[in-house]
Amino acid sequence: MEAASNLSSSLPLSPSRYRTTAVLTPHQRIASLSTAAAAGALPSCRTHLARLHQRRSAILPLRCNVRETVPDQEMASIDVEDPRIAKIAKAIRVIPDFPKPGILFQDITTLLLDTKAFRDTIDLFVERYRGKDITVVAGIEARGFIFGPPIALAIGAKFVPMRKPKKLPGEVISEEYSLEYGTDKIEMHVGAVEAGERALVIDDLIATGGTLCAAIRLLERVGVDVVECACVIELHGLKGRERLGDKPLFVLVNAAA
């Protein structure tokens, strides 16, 4: 609750077309994690909390926010003081140096343990996309498969998995994208979508934006209109949002890379 009141009390003024919310300092973030751990929401994070305390001067401020790149009249907006957002941010565990040194890993598995925060996450997306004539929710492997299906069911859209190479049994089309070292691909079944459909692309997180860009290209190649991309977390500083160009991106939580 404390984090939520910090959230509402420190709201910056934002341009009318955009929504941007509050800043959680590293100390607040660590306090939030401690509170969640004490409440049993993060059963195995004591070691990491200790490490976070030791390293807090090295951790950049984390912002919990709702950011939009589309005008309010096109999509339902979320009240920036919505207390659900702060609780979702609190439920995401941050693990330093995973999977390799220097990476601050945003672990959404702890969000899945918190039934209220997980439900709120899905509800926030559903509130935004319900009634917007979206026929396809395209989820990106693997963590987009967690958030995509409940959103698709709730808004009456089909769910289409965008998979890593050689996983889908039928005929596929694929798109390559660049990684820090080398390249990867995502694939989609031919016939899963039709030209003229309206799609929402869902993933847990945007970092460099390479994965989402490949998903957009894949869908647009077959004539699908990608209405928006949505992620739970945006890592700022990696310019993923810029890489998407004009394609709208909606995120709930903004975190340091």
Ligand X SMILES: O=P(O)(O)OC[C@H]1O[C@H](OP(=O)(O)OP(=O)(O)O)[C@H](O)[C@@H]1O
Q: Which residues here bind ligand X, judged by CB under 6 A?
A: 140-143, 203-211, 240
Residue 197's binding partner among ligand ADE, ligand X, none (Cβ under 5 to 8 angstroms by kind) is none
Judged by CB under 6 A, the chain residues 98 through 117 that form the site for ligand ADE are 103-106
CB of 107 to ligand ADE, least distance (A): 7
* Residue 219 interacts with which of ligand X, ligand ADE, none, CB < 5 to 8 Å by class: none
| 207 touches ligand ADE (CB under 6 A) | yes
Residue 249's φ and ψ, nearest 5 degrees, are -130, 130
Site for ligand ADE, residues 46 to 105, rule: CB under 6 A: 103-105
Closest distance between ligand ADE and the C-beta of residue 235, in Å?
6
Nearer to ligand ADE, 51 or 158 (CB): 51
Q: Which of 84, 143, 163, 241 is catalytic?
A: 143
Cβ-contact 218, 236 below 8 angstroms: no
CA distance 101 to 185: 25
Any catalytic annotation for residue 198?
Answer: no
Residue 103 interface partner, choices ligand X, ligand ADE, none, CB cut-off 5-8 Å depending on type = ligand ADE
User: Whole-number minimum distance, CB 190 to ligand ADE, in Å?
Assistant: 28
Give 50 or 142: the residue with its C-beta nearer to ligand ADE: 142
What are the two backbone dihedrals, phi and then psi, of residue 195, each rounded to the nearest 5 degrees? -55, 140
Partner in contact with 232, chosen from ligand ADE, ligand X, none, beta carbon below 5 to 8 Å by kind:
none
Residue closer to ligand X, measured from CB, 58 or 142: 142
Print burial letters for 127-145: b (CB count within 10 Å at least 16), e (below 16).
bbbeeeebbbbbbbeebbb
Q: Does 215 bind ligand ADE (CB under 6 A)?
A: no
213, HSE (Cβ side, Cα atoms, 13 Å): 17
Residue 210 CB, shortest distance to ligand X, in Å, is: 4
CB of 35 to ligand X, least distance (A): 26
18/105 with CB nearer ligand ADE: 105
Kindly tell me which of 69 and 208 has the beta carbon lying closer to ligand X. 208
Is position 180 annotated as part of the catalytic site? yes
Binding-site ranges for ligand ADE (CB under 6 A): 103-106, 205, 207, 235
Active site residues per annotation:
143, 180
